[in-house]
Structure 1
């Protein structure tokens, strides 16, 4: 598992990319899969993650 700082850096870069891609209508289904995968690697408690209970 990656450390919190590395995950935060990756998430910030992904979020910027995803915002532009969604705005343009690119990779719509793929972005959701990528986002779920990214949150599966999240080192923060489950309550931090969207759509997760715990």
Structure 2
């Protein structure tokens, strides 16, 4: 039986801490919710992710 999260293709964010807590990156082809308080960088993360393609 595959281990949860091991067979999912990931997109590396380029942010080491985020990739670490996301077990290697953001899952490709899946919806990902980014939450946080005002001013925590959610919009900056989303825009940077879009710019990098």
TM-score under structure 2 normalisation? 0.34
Kindly indicate which of the two structures has a greater share of residues assigned to helix.
Answer: 1
TM-score under structure 1 normalisation? 0.34
Q: Which has the higher contact order (CA 8 A, sep 6+)?
A: 1
